[in-house]
A = this chain, B = another copy of it.
Amino acid sequence: MDKILRIDMGAEGGPKAAAEPVGAYAGLGGRSLTSTIVSKEVPPTCHPLSAANKLVIAPGLLSGSAAAMSGRISVGCKSPLTGGIKEANSGGQPSQVLARLGYAGIVFEGKPLEDNLYKIFINKDGVKISVDNSLRMLGNYAVVERMKAEFGEKIACISIGPAGEMKLAASSIAFTDMELRPTRHAGRGGVGAVMGSKGVKVIVLDDSGMKFREPKDKEKFNEANKRFTEGLRQHGVTGQALPAYGTNVLTNILNEAGAYPTYNFKEGRFAGAARISGETTAALETERGGLATHGCHRGCVIRCSGTYVDKDGHYLTKQPEYETVWAHGGHCGIDDLDKIAMMDFLDDDTGLDTIEIGVTIGVAMDAGLLKFGDADGAISLVKEIGKGTPLGRILGSGAAITGKIYGVERVPVVKGQAMPAYDPRAVKGLGVTYATSPMGADHTAGYATATNILKVGGYVDPLKAEGQIELSRNLQVATAAIDSTGMCLFIAFAVLDQPETFQALLDMLNAFYGLSLSADDVTELGKKVLKMEKEFNRKAGMTEEQDRLPDYFKSQPVTPHNVVFDVSDEELDKVINW
């Protein structure tokens, strides 16, 4: 990871790749690298689909090493969805493989001069870029099959589906998992459209002949890694709940808390929740011969993923995440797991953000396009996106645009990005994160559900305004740092509750790089990243007025607690301001 691969897609005579030393970007990884490069090199007011935008793909600081949980990869650019800076990260294999190939990041620049679609093969010998227009409008699953046929099974793929090619603002970038399926996605903010605008259909990585990245102090590193892993296994969330039921363990919890947004954020509880819960999903998977516990990348010890098979036992999709089940489920009044799983597959194959698309369908339901609860209708809408019909393009552009086009007032977005599966009125800490994160409404940016609902890292009453600013700020800072390490964010549960697990993480970083970082240094890194991101947005033309929830969350109470979002604007302005 001592070099950055720059690929100029707009070079005369066709795209050109060149590796350069990390230089001034040394010491950065994942989100801290993508956000720094975007901040320094992308004009904040540029059109997100223009040659001036850049797409940065970066493994984390510990990716490619033997560190457990270090398989996250960050994607950065100016977002076509929010108009601000974007970092979306994903699990899967590519982070480890890219890191082992020695790249701290790939930076795509420019735009092809001709209307061609490219595939890019990277191995120990270098980079091969070739035109392959036969891949046009293929789904992610088909693309990966084609790459397997061409390059063998020892690869990892980063690809876009038809949505990214169509440059839709809800398009994702897919990353293959251990079974070489395109099931892990950098979903949010339309990063797939930026890859599409660069003409890149797929990046194939092959690390044959490369080894684990070596720590400076191997002994200390291994010892810390062991403590770290034990810490994760010890904690209730990372050691039990997530492995057993996956992220969807949250359905019953959030529903019980009255914070499960139902019928496009009209109610806080869904009558059909139990039918789509993590418990129900795991039981069904086990019964049908799928997998209820499974990792998305090698080195994962939490194993919150799984394999969802249909009633005949055939693979349908990976175990859908909580937010996906919610977006296509409760949000739309749908309680049929098989149909939700079908939409998860369609989203993955088409290359779409499941949160944005589920929320968009709920908004379309509110607009009268179909009835709440109409699962087959919802599936048809997702298919429509893949076909690129006008209706499909509307929906594939996300909830904000769909709301505008159908004249809907109730559109749950911040900075144009759809809210995830937690009602901001009933999990107010997360409401603060939605409002103030430079990323737009994003639960992962500062996951206050942990402390508001799961009582991890202390407890702050989710229904009260008090304490939420500090909670969200601390979590946003910590997250920006974790997102730089390549570590899965779920380590945060154990790290927040168990000081020794946090220390183990620090020790790993220090042993790997020969550093002596303190907890304060990590906090400083997180703060620096957040400030930089906020500054990019300011230069792009955003103000505090964009750090707000839509008005109706402040005036329309949500059942069952009948609460509104009552954190004041003045307080919100203090979050990324220290």
Binding site for B on A (CB under 8 A): 43-47, 49-50, 52, 80, 166-169, 193, 196-197, 389-391, 393-394, 397, 401, 404-407, 409, 538-546, 548, 550-552
Contacts and interface: CB of A to CB of B under 8 A. Distances in A.
26 contacts: A44-B545, A45-B545, A45-B548, A46-B551, A47-B409, A47-B552, A49-B409, A50-B409, A50-B552, A52-B551, A166-B407, A168-B405, A196-B407, A389-B390, A390-B390, A390-B391, A390-B394, A393-B394, A393-B405, A394-B405, A397-B405, A401-B401, A539-B545, A541-B544, A541-B546, A543-B543
Copies of the chain in the assembly: 2
A407 B193 contact: yes
Contacts of A405: 168, 393-394, 397, 401
Q: Is the interface of A mostly helix, strand, loop or mixed?
A: loop
Nearest to A193: B407
Contacts of A404: 80, 169, 397, 401
Nearest to A111: B409
Contacts of A80: 404
Contacts of A169: 404
Contact of A167 (B43, B407, B548): B407
A392 to B, nearest CB: 8
Nearest to A394: B390
A541 B546 CA distance: 6
Contact of A545 (B393, B394, B541, B548): B541
B551 A168 contact: no
A265 to B, nearest CB: 14
A539 B545 CA distance: 7
B393 A406 contact: yes
Given A80-B404, A390-B391, 11 more contacts: A49-B409, A196-B407, A197-B409, A393-B394, A393-B405, A393-B406, A394-B405, A539-B545, A541-B543, A541-B545, A543-B543
Listed from nearest, the 5 A-B pairs whose CB atoms lie closest are A167-B407, A541-B545, A390-B391, A390-B390, A393-B405
B47 A407 contact: no
